[in-house]
Amino acid sequence: MKRTNIVAALGCALLVFSLLGCGTNNHLQSITISAPASTALTGGVYNLVGDGSTIQLQAVGAYSNSRTLDITNTVTWNLIVDPNYTVDAFDKPLPGAGQTIEISPTGLVTAIEPADCTWIDVAPTGETASWFFVGAYQVTATLNGVTSQPIYIPIASSAGNVNDVFPPNPQTDNNPSQQCGPSSTGG
């Protein structure tokens, strides 16, 4: 074998090992989901406002070799009704994924028909609205056995309930404009 072939082969082997990290230091350690700041409320909660509206989620993988990569189109997106917040503003159970909300393989969350509202106004009648979500969807991303932190998405794609139907202080005509959560309009 010629010396140039040997040098070329060694160079290729060195390149492969450096890209692979010898197979030991490039394992996926964690996944973090984020969304545009314009949809963020607080603590991993993102508001989906308006029928047909969308939120593009991003998944970033952190690897053991200290690199981070956008893995949005590689992960499996999981969308379920949040087990802690399971009803809408009318005290009806939230429908499962694919009904009122869906997520694409690329992380695009969309409000679909039938429209719904998961926000209630907990302020006393006649006072400035104080919004609380009673229903939300939970989203996670999974790849190679690693699952992200959950994020939560309340829905404001329909008009809200005129009345606060939730105990301990149900109110009549609490929301006469039928608004549905922060940054929403009446229906």
Widest CA span in the chain: 90
6-50 per-position pLDDT tens digit: 555 555 454 444 444 454 568 999 999 999 888 888 889 999 999
Give residue 2's pLDDT: 60
* pLDDT above 90 (res 55): yes
Domains of the chain: 26-156 (2.60.40)
Mean pLDDT of all residues belonging to the chain: 87
Nearest to 160 by CA among 145, 182, 139: 182
Whether the link from the prior residue into 168 is cis, omega within 30° of 0, is: yes
Residue that is written with structure tokens 């608004």 in the block: 179
Q: Which of 36-45, 129-138, 153-162 is least confident?
A: 36-45
